[in-house]
């Protein structure tokens, strides 16, 4: 027998409710375990003392008073527990709401700045898929000699070294600026791009929400997609940087030299193949051979057109660099120290007015925010009431 079993059976042993085998086992354990023997002696002395005490009857209303007293003792503790649980629920909902609003705001800015780079990638992927269309097969046994006789399969390694030295780089940039006068900067960029021999490929402008009621017009923000000659790319970047405060900037240069000359070489091979097929077609006599050769000619012509289109597109992107410009009109720019032309009292007055306006602005935004999330607050309140009644009903 172990100590745990002894503790479970000690009361039965004292009350003489065990059989002989269990008694012998328990007494043997008492002899071996000093801890259990001390425990037995203490309990036995308490029982003997209780037997010698005079029995006193309880008052008649003892049970009712005991229940009332127990309820009074449990009330403060249960109230505190309920308050803690409900407070944690409300805090969790509030943190969740704030996190979602911050994440949504940041995500919209990231998507806005990255969408300009996905257009060209999508166009390239679409062009690549079109270039892999399936074509009807030609029975090579009927025209087996035309490839070997004219050297159709040219080695790609025969591209001339001077061509490889003339690299094909697609330059692209993204610049985001804070400016004071949107219309002025917009017109300056247009005039400068035209002077470089470039053009505005795309542009858009919109009004942003302004908290400055004293302005006659709301602040503006817009986007320009500029194309300039590649040799003027760096000059255009430096000029645009000088027009405001740079908030974000990225430059990319994609080297398509190897792909360009591979496709160019392939187009030359396809044209030789096309000419050879036309020569075979003029000599063909059977209708079956004529139809087969025409199908092969159609396939070759389609592949030539697709690859030529890709080369023209790359020529355009290489010769004219792309600059994506995001302009954000702001109230003031602190990019250089201005001369002091006001005394300390006027500055103090302006600072005081600015502080009051900021406090009013914060108060207005707080009211707008509370009204905006009012449905969520009502939902949290309903959940709070339901949780309260469920807890009260359970206890």
Closest CA to 185 of 232, 240, 137: 240
Residue 212 CB neighbours (<10 A): 10
Burial track 179-211 (b if 16+ CB lie within 10 A, e otherwise): beebeebbeebbebbeebebeeeeeeeeeeeee
Question: Residue 126 in contact with residue 309, Cβ under 8 Å?
Answer: no
* Digit-coded pLDDT (tens) for 7-28: 877 788 877 777 888 888 888 8
Closest CA to 236 of 321, 344, 304: 321
- The torsion of the CA quartet 120, 121, 127, 130, rounded to 10 degrees, works out to -140
* Digit-coded pLDDT (tens) for 277-292: 888 888 888 888 889 9
Q: How many helices (H) and strands (E) does the chain have?
A: 12, 5
pLDDT the model gives residue 137: 42
* Digit-coded pLDDT (tens) for 355-375: 998 999 898 988 888 888 888
pLDDT the model gives residue 326: 92
Residue 99 CB neighbours (<10 A): 10
Element (H, E) at 226: strand 220-229
The ranges of the chain with pLDDT < 70 are 73-86, 90, 93-165, 209-216, 333-343, 395
Q: How far is CA 170 from the centre of its chain?
A: 28
Burial class (CB in 10 A: 0-12, 13-18, 19+), 240: buried
pLDDT the model gives residue 84: 65
pLDDT the model gives residue 82: 58
């Amino acid at each position: 027998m172990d100590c745990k079993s002894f503790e479970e059976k000690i009361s039965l042993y004292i009350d003489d409710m065990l059989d002989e085998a269990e008694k012998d086992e328990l007494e043997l354990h008492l002899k071996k375990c000093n801890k259990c023997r001390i425990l037995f002696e203490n309990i036995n002395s308490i029982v003997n003392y209780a037997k010698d005490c005079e029995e006193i009857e309880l008052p008649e209303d003892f049970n009712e008073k005991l229940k009332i007293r127990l309820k009074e003792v449990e009330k403060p503790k249960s109230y505190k527990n309920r308050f803690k649980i409900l407070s944690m629920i409300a805090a969790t909902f509030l943190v969740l709401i704030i996190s979602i609003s911050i994440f949504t705001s940041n995500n919209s800015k990231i998507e806005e700045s990255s969408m300009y780079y996905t257009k060209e990638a999508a166009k390239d992927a679409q062009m690549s898929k079109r270039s892999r269309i399936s074509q009807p097969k030609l029975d090579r046994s009927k025209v087996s000699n035309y490839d070997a006789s004219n050297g159709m399969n040219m080695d790609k390694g025969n591209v001339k070294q001077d061509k490889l030295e003339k690299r094909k780089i697609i330059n692209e940039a993204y610049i985001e600026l804070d400016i004071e006068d949107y219309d002025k900067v917009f017109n300056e960029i247009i005039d400068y791009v035209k002077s470089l021999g470039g053009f505005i490929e795309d542009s858009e402008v919109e009004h942003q929400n302004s908290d400055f009621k004293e302005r006659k017009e709301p602040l503006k923000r817009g986007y320009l997609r500029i194309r300039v000659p590649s040799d003027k790319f760096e000059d255009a970047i430096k000029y645009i940087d000088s027009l405001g405060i740079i908030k974000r900037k990225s430059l990319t240069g994609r080297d398509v030299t190897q792909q360009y000359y591979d496709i160019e070489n392939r187009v030359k091979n396809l044209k030789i193949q096309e000419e050879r097929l036309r020569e075979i077609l003029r000599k063909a006599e059977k209708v079956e051979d004529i139809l087969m050769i025409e199908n092969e000619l159609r396939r070759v012509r389609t592949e030539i057109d697709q690859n030529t289109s890709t080369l023209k597109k790359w020529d355009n992107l290489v010769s004219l660099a792309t600059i994506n410009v995001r302009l954000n009109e702001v109230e003031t720019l602190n990019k250089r120290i201005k001369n002091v032309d006001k005394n300390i009292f006027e500055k103090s007055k302006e600072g005081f007015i600015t502080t009051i306006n900021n406090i009013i602005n914060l108060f207005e935004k707080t009211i707008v925010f509370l009204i905006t999330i009012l449905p969520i607050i009502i939902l949290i309140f309903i959940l709070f009431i339901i949780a309260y009644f469920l807890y009260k009903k359970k206890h």
